[in-house]
Amino acid sequence: MANPLENLCGPGKPLKAEAPDANEIAGLLRTGIARLHDARNAALALESRFDLAYNAAHALSLAALRRMGYRSGNRYIVFQVLPHTLGLGPEVWRVLDKCHNTRNLGEYEGLLEVDERLITDLIAATQALSDAMRR
């Protein structure tokens, strides 16, 4: 069976093969875990907690992809390939998909609408990423 990540490599495709870099991966893990910790701080504004948790999820997802020997050409692909990089299912990547769309509305249209439930779900999904990276 062909490697699904390898199938996403090539001209015009979202991934490129690149040898893993232990220092880069360690840095992504460190920043992901720190941001996840800070996202749990209920004294912060919901928007700040969302930003911290989303960026933690991205850092951890990118670390997983880099560990497999690939680099992403766009932000979103790191979430799409989670079944192949960390074996995580739709209960995680669907939350991250929703949060990616929410983040884009906030970044590009100024419409960041988050609530406590979304933050809770995002933190749980990001914790699942962190736990999977430790396995």
Model confidence over 41-54: pLDDT tens digits? 999 999 999 999 99
Per residue in 68-91, pLDDT (tens digit) is: 999 998 889 999 999 999 999 999
Residue 12 lies in a domain: no
Residue 109 lies in a domain: yes
Contact 78, 65 (CB under 8 A): yes
CB atoms closer than 10 angstroms to residue 25 = 17
Q: Residue 75: its pLDDT value, please?
A: 87
Q: State the CATH number of the domain containing residue 31.
A: 1.20.120.330
Residue 11 lies in a domain: no
Q: Residue 58: its pLDDT value, please?
A: 97
Residue 6 lies in a domain: no
Structure tokens at 60: 């951890």
Q: 68 burial class (0-12, 13-18, 19+ CB within 10 angstroms)? A: middle
- The answer to whether residue 1 scores a pLDDT higher than 60 is no
Instruction: Report pTM.
Output: 0.94
**Chain-centroid distance, C-alpha 91:** 14
Distance, CA of 58 to CA of 129 (rounded, Å): 10
117, 126, 129, 113: which is closest to 38 by C-alpha?
Answer: 126
Q: Residue 105: its pLDDT value, please?
A: 93
Distance, CA of 68 to CA of 9 (rounded, Å): 13
Domain that holds residue 85: 17-134
